[in-house]
């Protein structure tokens, strides 16, 4: 009788573990997904948010360049002296990546991105390089004027355990595409960065 009760308790504990384990691991996966809520004032773009929705969007003249469910919206690659921010999404019904390089800034890991909180990067600075990769062709953009603004950078904790760093802010600049002046306007981003999309080497 005693052995039977012990067996039932063990079985209940194992069943509970099997139920809870996928919930724990799937929560981390949920944090990498995108939540796209369209901005009613700027059709085709996500709302500005600071919740780690994993979205970004901007107008290239009148065309929306936005994050996609198919690829990580952001990848950060750091070499010893250069920070590279890749915004991956869709432009003109094709995959495109906006690459922003900041020379002289090299965080060792994603929690260190908190240093960007409330900072403004002048994209015309000699420390900045901006490129656009589209149709498997990468072009270096000549920036006429513009800024990348990190309005809020925060570290996300789940059950008192550090999980992600959330980067939220705005981007606007003027440049040239095929020798034609172009304005990138109403740019906004709300991106979560973690182990799976931060690289230092």
Where are the domains positioned within the chain? Answer: 31-200
């020379």: which residue's tokens? Answer: 103
Global confidence as pTM: 0.83
pLDDT band at 24 (very low <50, low <70, confident <90, very high): very low
Residue 5 is predicted with a pLDDT of 55
- pLDDT at residue 6 greater than cutoff 60: no
Q: Rounded to whole angstroms, how far apart are CA atoms 130 and 145?
A: 12
Residue 4 is predicted with a pLDDT of 56
């550090």: which residue's tokens? Answer: 162
- pLDDT at residue 8 greater than cutoff 60: no
Residue 110: exposure state from Cβ atoms within 10 A (0-12, 13-18, ≥19):
buried
More confident call, 36 vs 30: 36
User: For 104, left (φ over 0), alpha (ψ -120 to 50), or beta?
Assistant: left
More confident call, 70 vs 188: 188
Residue 32 is predicted with a pLDDT of 63
Spatial contact of 157 and 163, defined as CB atoms under 8 Å apart: yes
Say which residues have a Cβ less than 8 Å from residue 156's Cβ, sequence separation at least 6. 31, 52, 162, 163, 164, 165, 166, 192
Share of the chain above pLDDT 90, in %: 77
pLDDT digits (tens, 9 = 90+) for 98-116: 999 999 999 999 999 999 9
- pLDDT at residue 193 greater than cutoff 50: yes
Q: In the predicted model, what is the mean pLDDT of residues 162-169? A: 96
Query: In this structure, what DSSP letter does residue 62 have?
Result: T
**Residues in the chain, overall count:** 201
- pLDDT at residue 12 greater than cutoff 60: no
Residue 135 is predicted with a pLDDT of 86
């Amino acid at each position: 009788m005693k052995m039977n009760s012990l067996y039932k308790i063990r079985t209940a504990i194992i069943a509970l573990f099997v139920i809870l384990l996928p919930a724990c691991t799937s929560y981390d996966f949920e944090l990498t997904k995108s939540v796209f809520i369209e901005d009613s004032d700027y059709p085709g773009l996500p709302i500005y948010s600071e919740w780690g929705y994993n979205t970004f969007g901007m107008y290239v003249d009148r065309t929306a360049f936005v994050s996609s469910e198919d690829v990580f919206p952001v990848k950060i690659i750091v070499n010893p002296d250069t920070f590279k921010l890749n915004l991956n999404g869709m432009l003109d019904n094709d995959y495109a990546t906006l690459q922003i390089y900041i020379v002289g800034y090299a965080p060792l890991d994603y929690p260190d991105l908190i240093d960007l909180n409330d900072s403004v990067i002048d994209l015309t600075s000699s420390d900045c390089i901006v490129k656009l990769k589209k149709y498997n062709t990468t072009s270096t953009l000549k920036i006429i004027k513009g800024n990348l603004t990190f309005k809020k950078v925060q570290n996300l904790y789940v059950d008192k355990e550090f999980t992600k760093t959330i980067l939220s802010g705005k981007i606007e600049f003027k440049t040239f595409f095929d020798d034609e002046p172009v304005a990138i306007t109403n740019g906004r981003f709300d991106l979560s960065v973690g182990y799976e999309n931060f690289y230092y080497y």
